[in-house]
Amino acid sequence: MTTRMNRRSFISTTMGVAGGLTFLGPRALMAQDGATLRFALSAFPPSFEAWTSTGTAAGTIKLMMHRGLLSYDAQGMLRGELAESWEVDDAGVWTFNLREAKWHDGTPVTAADVAWTIEEVAKPDSAAYRQGQLALITKVETPDDRTVRIFTEEPLAILPGWFAHYHMPILKTGEPKDTQIGAGPFMLDNIERGVSVSLKAFDGYYKEGLPKLAGVEAIVYADENLRVAALEAGDVDLAEYVPWQAMEQVEGNDALKLDVVDGPFMYLTFNGSRPPFDNPKVRQAVAHAIKREDIVAAAFFNRGGALEHLPIADASEFFNPEYANAWNYDPEKSRALLAEAGYPDGFDCVMLSTAQYGMHQSTAEVCQAYLSMVGINVQLDLPEWSSRVKKGNEGQYDLAVMGTTADNNDPDGLVNVLDGALPASFVRSFALETPEISELFARGRATFDTEERKAIYKELEKVAVETVPLVGLAWRAQGYGMQSNVSGFANLPGQLTFYSGIMLEETMIG
């Protein structure tokens, strides 16, 4: 009898404690009413610091809470946000004219806020994504509350693009970097760390009639399969990062729709500090050894496309058709280049990738197979992502598989992956000098005439095709899946896909 009583009380106590502790949990996590959009995020933002690069999921949250001077529209064209208009004078000084906008606490957004933001981001220890670029700003003038004049040492054509990035919002003077006060269409309502972020509409938003939703419930579904399951089960209205293998299934479901663009891309980087990849002939041999279609099939379920040149989309005005297949699959040419470089029998090398993300591993495996056919014996190094980042930053590899997006659709957005003058990083080749490319990027930035810029970037691509600071492999599709009654949301074109959170202000349900 005693035993039974004990067992019963044990069970009831356990349940009581578990239930009681659960009661202590924070408030609601799920959608409250029809006008609240449930958004399946792929990851919880590692931090809410507005200017730090904290990933694309964090970018989507920032695009709801904050606004920069500019942004992009559904067609990928620059448009004004806090800045109503912007212009550059003959001396290369950019003037931004601010519109009447309010912070979430009701106070007005002023030119002083913009100047303060630029000053804070440009500080050497700001850890801001745009620190390097904004450090080039020599002076900021605020002649009145609505006007900001930005001076740089050299004239910079691409400066407006800096202020359209989701990691470059304007913050209110004196606010902490992870402030909850923004000027965006939604206000932060509640954060359940690691689980969800609730946002509600800001009724003082500067665009009349927006946002159309009462709120957004961004719920983290780290597992891509569960994200799709949640979409199919109707648990969420909109989901980012639809996995490639599920795209057909989402398209085939009458209750759902899919919006896909080719934006992010896969590529190979090299260790230029030692043989054999310090030799451009060897890098060219690699570029001609790999059949890209097999990567698209193996890693991306045919959702994407072959990339045999620099990652400049064919829809871009800077696309150069003559280089479209510059690094075409040609094993004979590859073997000849190897022989020319002094490796007629090939060589052994280590390729760094990661086992954490299937697409990185599959891409590496296809490359390994094709490189072995021309005599390059590749040993794969597949640590988890954090080790891969560290090894990449320290150059502990011979060649490496990488995937990313450019900063934006302007060719200057490729500077991060191409310019060897920048500090060592896992996103670009290690210790690979690219003096001509660095110089052409600088010229491109200082040139305002579009035709002249086209000529500069054409020259840049020509140099890149010959010197191979990276090898383009594949475009990969980036998709948002949504219930068919969701309207107003669009996947922004090309490299801007991760800016698509900007469209949530126009999104409606039903």
Partner 1 sequence: MLRYIAYRSLVAIFLVWTVVTLVFLLLHLIPGDPAELLLSQGSVAADPQAVAALREKMGLNAPLWQQYLDHLSGVLSGDLGASFRDGAPVMGQIVQRLPRTLEVIAAAALIASAFGVPLGTWAAIRTGGWADSFVSFLSSVALSTPVFVVGSIAILIFAQHLQWLPAGGFVPFSEDPAQHLKLLLLPACTVALSLWAVITRMTRASVLEVLERDHVRTARAKGLTRTAILRRHVVRNALIPVLTILGLEMGTLIGGTVLVEFVFNWPGLSGYLVAAVDARDYPEVVGIVMTISVLFVFLNLVVDVVNAWLDPRISLVSK
Site for partner 1 in 44-83 (CB under 8 A): 44, 46-48, 52-56, 58-59
235 binds partner 1 (CB under 8 A): yes
Of 234, 342, 344, 435, the residue at the interface with partner 1 (CB under 8 A) is 234
3-state secondary structure 7-32: HHHHHHHHHHHHHHHHHCCCCCCCCC
Of 33, 90, 106, 124, the residue at the interface with partner 1 (CB under 8 A) is 124
CB 196 within 8 A of CB 218: yes
Of 385, 435, 450, 466, the residue at the interface with partner 1 (CB under 8 A) is 385
131 binds partner 1 (CB under 8 A): yes
Give the residues across from 149 on adjacent strands: 95, 141
Q: Min. distance of Cβ 454 from partner 1 in angstroms?
A: 26
Nearer to partner 1, 19 or 321 (CB): 19
Helix (H/G/I), strand (E/B), else coil: 305: strand
Q: d(Cα 219, Cα 334) in Å, to the nearest integer?
A: 48
With vertex at residue 27, the alpha carbon angle to CA 23 and CA 30, rounded to the nearest 5 degrees, is 115
User: CB pairs under 8 A, 24+ apart, for 450-456?
Assistant: 450/317, 453/157, 453/318, 453/411, 454/317, 454/318
Question: Taking CB under 8 A as the rule, which mask of x and - marks residues 407-426 in contact with partner 1?
Answer: ---------x-----xxxxx
5 binds partner 1 (CB under 8 A): no
Q: Among residue numbers 19 through 38, which ones bind partner 1 (CB under 8 A)?
A: 19, 21-30
Q: Among residue numbers 184 through 223, which ones bind partner 1 (CB under 8 A)?
A: 192-195, 219-223
Nearer to partner 1, 80 or 383 (CB): 383
Q: Which residue, 464, 438, 443, is CA-closest to 453?
A: 443
Q: d(Cα 248, Cα 265) in Å, to the nearest integer?
A: 21
The secondary structure element, H or E, covering residue 86 is strand 83-88
255 binds partner 1 (CB under 8 A): no
Would you mind telling me the total number of residues written for the chain in this entry? 510
Nearer to partner 1, 223 or 248 (CB): 223
Of 36, 60, 71, 126, the residue at the interface with partner 1 (CB under 8 A) is 126
Q: Min. distance of Cβ 39 from partner 1 in angstroms?
A: 13
Of 8, 9, 12, 14, the residue at the interface with partner 1 (CB under 8 A) is 14
Nearer to partner 1, 58 or 465 (CB): 58
Q: Among residue numbers 489 through 508, which ones bind partner 1 (CB under 8 A)?
A: 498
CB 218 within 8 A of CB 60: yes
Phi and psi at 171, nearest 5°, equal -110, 160
Q: d(Cα 225, Cα 242) in Å, to the nearest integer?
A: 9
Nearer to partner 1, 77 or 127 (CB): 127
Which residue type is seen at 317? E
Nearer to partner 1, 45 or 411 (CB): 45
Nearer to partner 1, 265 or 277 (CB): 265
Q: Min. distance of Cβ 468 from partner 1 in angstroms?
A: 20
